[in-house]
Amino acid sequence: MADNEEHDEEPRIRDKRKIDPQTGEARSGEARPDAREPQADDGSSADVESADDLVEAEGPDVELSDDDMALLAEAERDLVAEYRERAARAEAELKNFRTRVERDRAANREAVIAEVIRTLVPAIDDLDRAEAHGDLTEGSPLAIVASKLRGGFEKYGLRRVGEKGEAFDPNFHEALVQLPTPGATSQTIADVIEPGYALGDRLIRAAKVAVSVPE
């Protein structure tokens, strides 16, 4: 093969003169080459090119063995399973993200409402005092305003905490006075000094109470 490549690189010169320059006689037949021409053998470039062309032509039609087909099918199944797992993970992350967004939005909404109500709690206290003094007579303008305010607060879930006789809960009640009481077995609210308010589970203001305690 190497000899053939070297021969291909050498120039080929053909003597086409009809008169032989050495003998002066006329030549008959085809002109003889003065240069050496490469001789084709069993491993000639033509044969190699033909073989390469044959392999290249037959390449796409090569049949895979059963083992190769099994490996290819297994790799395809693994790839499909991997992409399905990625899609499921992405869908779960998106769902969790939406849940967090909705939860944060609801928490922010409750925080804003709680802050607004907290600023209006003193007005509710004034209405309670007016009602205790008999100033909120039925049908009076002040009674109508108080009814609308309380109805609006209840719409948002505002509730009063701290009622007489309830069990004392430090999460919602602030004990200003402790009253040792005969026969008391637990701490209970004996009197409400100032009512408290809660919006759902969010405490707006703790109730100030007097607590009965065992002697």
Tens digits of pLDDT across the chain (215 residues): 444 444 455 556 666 666 676 676 666 654 444 444 444 445 444 444 444 454 454 445 556 677 778 888 888 888 888 999 999 999 999 999 999 999 999 888 888 888 888 998 888 888 888 888 887 888 788 888 888 888 888 888 888 998 888 999 999 999 999 988 888 888 999 999 999 999 888 899 999 999 999 87
* Start-end of H helices in 33-65: 45-58
Q: What is the pTM (predicted TM-score) of this model?
A: 0.52
Residue partners of 191: CB distance under 8 A and separation at least 6: 164, 177, 209, 210
Cβ–Cβ < 8 Å for 208, 194? yes
For residues 174 and 193, what is the distance between their CA atoms, to the nearest angstrom? 10
Count Cβ neighbours within 10 Å for each residue of 189-209 and write b for 16 or more, e otherwise. bbebeebbbbbeeeebbbbbb
Q: Span 159-215: which CATH code?
A: 2.30.22.10
| DSSP run (H or E) holding 81 | helix 66-132
Structure tokens at 44: 């000639």
Compute the C-alpha angle 206/212/215, nearest 5°.
Answer: 145
Domain boundaries defined on the chain: 159-215
